[in-house]
Amino acid sequence: MKESLCYKILREHLTDGDLVPGSEIAIRIDQTLTQDATGTMAYLQFEAMGIPKVKTEISVSYVDHNTLQMGFENADDHLYLQTMNKKFGIHYSRAGNGICHQVHLERFGRPGATLLGSDSHTPTGGGIGMIAIGAGGLDVAVAMGGGPFYLTCPKVINVHLTGSLRPWVTAKDVILKVLALLTTKGNVGCVVEYTGPGIKTLSVPERATITNMGAELGVTTSLFPSDEITRDFLKAQARESAWKMMLPDEDARYDRVINIDLSEVVPMTAQPHSPDNVIAISAIKGMKVDQVAVGSCTNSSYKDLMTVAGILKEKKVHPDVSFLVAPGSRQVFEMIAQNGALADIIASGARIMESACGFCIGAGAAPKTGSISLRTNNRNFEGRSGTQSASIYLVSPETAALSSLKGELVDPLDYPAEAYPSVTIPEQFFIDDSMIIPPSETDDPVFRGPNIGEPPYTDPLMDEISGVIGLKVGDKITTDHIMPAGQRLKYRSNIPEYSKYVFENVDSDFPSRTLALKEQGQFTAIMGGESYGQGSSREHAAICPMFLGVRFVIAKSFERIHTSNLINFGILPIIFKNTTDYDSIKQGDTFTVKNLRAAVRGGTDIILEIAGRQCGFTLLASPRQREILLEGGLLNFTKKNI
């Protein structure tokens, strides 16, 4: 049968199962990446497995999220990572070297390989024809130890591109259009594969913008073929030898086909507070803006920043706008510094942030109360910017730069095509990997500052549990709701401390209430609506609730990474058999469950007695995941099976 590129790569890496959509398969992982905010926990768990060296082709540990260093915690964590990585065979990309996804694409990714990353935007690698998947840190730790990665064999959605983008219309507008079509809901278990003559008009960084923000669709990953354009990109990175042609079969079979004519795409924005709340800019242009931020793993390539510099050259940012620029990698940062474009950006009145996640994760640059902020990143969840009352609009760098000059949201198509800055992409990029420290044989001790806690230990699943529905929430609860980042990021290595902030902006008493119950031997169930656990791969959104005594999350539907994270830490993700139960069950109702182990082992319904009534639920777990739950989590399961 004619195969998609996705299936070709999966087939080459398949270690268990059959390529039948919906069934569980296991694949061999060639490369892993972590970032510091998820990495410390991933490496603590790797250490707990007792494996002396990573077994992957390459594993890279990036420091890009927690670089604010407001206190000793971040710097201590970085040194833990650096010393631990050296010892266990992992490359360490130092703070300042750039955002994991952009640097990995530039320096390590290779067409046809599999990459597992402890960050939901790992699919950025799909821009060069890899299967690049985001997962929880513990899944990545298992892959570093040579274990396979388990996933649901995907359905493949083909986005067939024709035509070419008009001047001022960008790859960001393309992915916003895809989000408008597919939304953030209902795509779990799918992969998006881009094909068609239109892809020849898109450079690798443009493709990577599209696969990066594909994460917001909730799909397993997105990918482009690897072609001559990929070859040119790798050649410019002095890595042509990593290139190989990777194409789907002609007439490959896809589960669904969506056609997009690039010449009909218009500048778009995602309005607050969801990346799929997309509208054409022409419909809301003229809105006054207070802040504009360019950067993130979605949009800070050389072309992006050169275009921004071209727009700003010899102009000044509007006096009412705070304009921030965070280059995505040190490579790009140095190149725009060397060619003078950075000087144009600085002269316009921009505030330059370091090459890191920064504003995107709410690490600095929180906008003012009730403000409108235009940002080039990929998520505009409520409160993620650090300001609960702010409204974040996601836009292209072009829209951002033009709007920063005018002080209002502008439609780039109102500007003449000739005014679009022409950017020549150098044949050779500036290469200096001196901020990536390779591993070496060492007996040096691993540094553990006071912020580094124990890896989270869990107990085997209990047979009888009673407790309380501790929280009832609505649809689209994101991991930013569950486990806020921003100011709280520095506690990522310290579970007892970080647990004090679970659902901080939803119900700040939740942690103390839940912990008090746990002390009385009572557990907690959380109840949510559709798409529970959308967004980040942060396993803390499972670990910290587990620490507080949460044993069930009941929802109408769950997102992929969060479901696995819950199971990995011994929490049962269950969905309603009867959705009207969502309306009748109240926060504060008590529950009991008996013979839980037998139900989990046998894969039968989970029956909870809630407020005196029997309610049936389906456990979202494969047979292997049910074993993991019985052991109390993946760490116990892995240790037992090593």
Could you list the residues that contact ligand SF4 (CB under 6 A)?
65, 99, 119, 121, 296-297, 357, 360-361, 377-378
**Pairwise CA distance, residues 565 & 573, whole Å:** 10
536 is catalytic: yes
* Binding status of residue 120 toward ligand MIC by CB under 6 A: yes
65 is catalytic: yes
* Binding status of residue 375 toward ligand MIC by CB under 6 A: no
Distances from the Cα of 515 to the Cαs of 65, 162, 549, 628, in angstroms?
29, 55, 7, 24
**Pairwise CA distance, residues 171 & 302, whole Å:** 14
* Binding status of residue 524 toward ligand MIC by CB under 6 A: no
**Nearest approach, Cβ of 599 to ligand MIC (angstroms)?**
32
C-alpha 82 chain-centroid distance: 23
538 is catalytic: yes
Q: Quick one: what does residue 174 bind among ligand MIC, ligand SF4, none, with the CB cut-off 5 to 8 Å set by partner type?
A: none
* Binding status of residue 172 toward ligand MIC by CB under 6 A: no
Q: Quick one: what does residue 538 bind among ligand MIC, ligand SF4, none, with the CB cut-off 5 to 8 Å set by partner type?
A: ligand MIC
Catalytic residue among 119, 173, 290, 304: 119
CB 569 within 8 A of CB 637: no
Binders of ligand MIC: how many residues, by CB under 6 A?
13
Binding range to ligand MIC, per CB under 6 A, among 119-127, 344-352, 460-468, 550-558? 119-127
* Binding status of residue 335 toward ligand MIC by CB under 6 A: no
Catalytic residue among 101, 375, 538, 562: 538
Nearer residue to ligand SF4 within complex by CB, 145 or 486: 486
Among 371, 451, 536, 563, binds ligand MIC (CB under 6 A): 536
**Nearest approach, Cβ of 357 to ligand SF4 (angstroms)?**
3
* Binding status of residue 166 toward ligand MIC by CB under 6 A: no
Sheet bearing 391-394, strands edge to edge:
278-280, 268-270, 391-394, 372-375, 291-295, 322-326, 351-352
Catalytic residue among 536, 537, 557, 564: 536
Q: Which residue has the tokens 């003078």?
A: 340
Distances from the Cα of 429 to the Cαs of 99, 299, 426, 505, 576, in angstroms?
17, 18, 6, 43, 53
Query: Which residues, 6+ apart, have CB-to-CB distance to 449 below 8 Å?
Result: 72, 73, 76, 77, 79, 80
Distances from the Cα of 81 to the Cαs of 76, 363, 580, 581, 622, in angstroms?
9, 20, 47, 46, 33
**Nearest approach, Cβ of 134 to ligand MIC (angstroms)?**
6
CB 312 within 8 A of CB 345: yes
**Pairwise CA distance, residues 253 & 1, whole Å:** 8
Number of H helices and E strands in the chain, helices first, is 21, 27
The mark string for 131-150 relative to ligand MIC (x by CB under 6 A, - otherwise) is ---x----------------
Q: Name the strand (E) or helix (H) holding 116.
A: strand 114-117
Nearer residue to ligand MIC within complex by CB, 37 or 610: 37
Among 78, 86, 91, 121, binds ligand MIC (CB under 6 A): 121
Among 4, 31, 34, 38, binds ligand MIC (CB under 6 A): 38
Strand partners, 632: none
Evaluated on CA atoms 572, 577, 580, 584, the torsion sign reads negative
379 is catalytic: yes
Q: Quick one: what does residue 82 bind among ligand SF4, ligand MIC, none, with the CB cut-off 5 to 8 Å set by partner type?
A: none
SS3 35: strand
Burial class from Cβ neighbours inside 10 Å (0-12, 13-18, 19+) for residue 308 reads: buried
Number of Cβ within 10 Å of residue 26's Cβ equals 16
* Binding status of residue 67 toward ligand MIC by CB under 6 A: no
The length of the chain is 642
Binding range to ligand MIC, per CB under 6 A, among 116-124, 204-212, 502-510, 567-575? 116-124
Separation of first and last alpha carbons in the chain: 37
**Nearest approach, Cβ of 74 to ligand SF4 (angstroms)?**
15
Q: Quick one: what does residue 296 bind among ligand MIC, ligand SF4, none, with the CB cut-off 5 to 8 Å set by partner type?
A: ligand SF4
Among 8, 231, 303, 538, binds ligand MIC (CB under 6 A): 538
Nearer residue to ligand MIC within complex by CB, 106 or 119: 119
* Binding status of residue 63 toward ligand MIC by CB under 6 A: no
**Nearest approach, Cβ of 68 to ligand SF4 (angstroms)?**
13
Burial class from Cβ neighbours inside 10 Å (0-12, 13-18, 19+) for residue 314 reads: exposed
31 closest CA partner among 121, 154, 137, 133:
133
**Nearest approach, Cβ of 375 to ligand MIC (angstroms)?**
12
Q: Quick one: what does residue 99 bind among ligand MIC, ligand SF4, none, with the CB cut-off 5 to 8 Å set by partner type?
A: ligand SF4
SS3 192: strand
Nearer residue to ligand SF4 within complex by CB, 485 or 527: 485
Binding range to ligand MIC, per CB under 6 A, among 264-272, 417-425, 496-504, 536-544? 536-544
Report, as residue numbers or ranges, the catalytic residues.
64-65, 119, 379, 536, 538
Query: For binding to ligand MIC (CB under 6 A), which residues are involved?
Result: 37-38, 65, 119-121, 134, 361, 485, 535-538
